Amino acid sequence: MSPGIEGAPLLEVRDLEVSFRVRDGEVRASRGVSLAVHAGETVGLVGESGSGKSVLCRAVLRLLPEPAAQVKGGRVLFDGTDLLALPEARMREIRGTDIAMVFQNPMTSLSPVWPVGDQITEGLRVHRGLSRAAAREQGIALMRATGIPEPGRRFDDHPWQWSGGMLQRAVIAMAMACSPRLLLADEPTTALDVTIQEQILALLAQLQADSGMAMVLVSHDIGVVAETCDRIAVMYAGMVVESGPATEVLGNPRHPYTLGLLGSSPRVDDAGHRLDPIPGQPPDLAQVSAGCPFAARCGFASEECHRTQVRLADVAPGHASACLFPERIR
């Protein structure tokens, strides 16, 4: 199935600016982020902690912790509608129906006091007006579709009775309940063992193929993104620094940070070569310079990089880099 790259994107984030108020000033957590996701497509967001991946997802669903977090500018267009301009009541209808989200830790996204089945089907009862019995029937079908064994018997279990992998299946079932057109998966497998991760990624791909939904997959693991995504956006210090087709971005990186991430990642299929780490520390978002945020750690940087504001620009059709000198990376 080839994703419909042509035509208007299902989700389009334009120049998103998000700031967090802190004691001594402001932290710009999202600095002019733009991202497009088409129907049926999987877009990977990679980057290290604090790069703004989760802030982007939460801003789309308007789940940022206000008033500490403020959207200072930009638009979030979903199927042409600016979500940032919608009244809260309308937004509440969209959450869970048109756009659903899966969080990293399944234990904290489920209530410990309610049966898992009731939580999976809450959306069906609230948004679709299903009766308890009808919701239960659909809930069991969802549990079966997500590979939860003996769903009929387990519907009334509480979260503590389940393993982490099974809980993540439940959270995915909950997200899929109202057949969303867009799924935001924020590190959905980070808390899981690698063999369970394999199963959850398989499940997400299967559900996506069956439903044609679009997916944003957030991960710090470049391997997970490489194996799952059509396109990739690499984030650093609240900016998208490189974006494009997954094979292009990872096979022919045109931003030094992407190159650094690839050099830092140990490979299971490549023995004994020495890692090539990115020197220095991740940036302090409260003190990002006017120039390129990566300049301080960049082996290719020159004087201009420290003072010139950078923007994503095409280096090839569909492949963009926010590096002033992408030709230096070869």
By CB under 8 A, name the binding residues for other proteins: 48-49, 147-149, 163-166, 169, 193-199, 201-203, 205-206, 220-224, 226-230, 246-247, 250, 260-269, 271-272, 274-279, 281-282
Tokens of 97: 């129906």
Nearer to other proteins, 76 or 215 (CB): 215
CB of 116 to other proteins, least distance (A): 13
Nearer to other proteins, 103 or 257 (CB): 257
Which uninterrupted H or E stretch holds 41?
A: none
Nearer to other proteins, 82 or 150 (CB): 150
Sign, Cα dihedral of 70, 75, 78, 81: positive
CB of 197 to other proteins, least distance (A): 7
CB of 145 to other proteins, least distance (A): 9
Classified as helix, coil or strand, 101 is strand
Q: Which residues pair with 45 in a beta bridge?
A: 218, 233
CB of 141 to other proteins, least distance (A): 14
Tokens 């030094």 belong to 256
Nearest Cα residue to 104 out of 218, 196, 211: 218
Pairwise CA distance, residues 48 & 284, whole Å: 13
CB of 5 to other proteins, least distance (A): 15
Contact indicator for 324, 298 with CB cutoff of 8 Å = no
Nearer to other proteins, 17 or 221 (CB): 221
Contact indicator for 232, 254 with CB cutoff of 8 Å = no
CB of 54 to other proteins, least distance (A): 14
Name, in order, each residue with C-beta under 8 angstroms of 281's C-beta and a sequence gap of 6 or more. Answer: none
Nearer to other proteins, 92 or 220 (CB): 220
Tell me how crowded residue 265 is: count the other CB atoms within 10 A of its CB.
16
Nearer to other proteins, 199 or 289 (CB): 199
Residue 310 identity? V
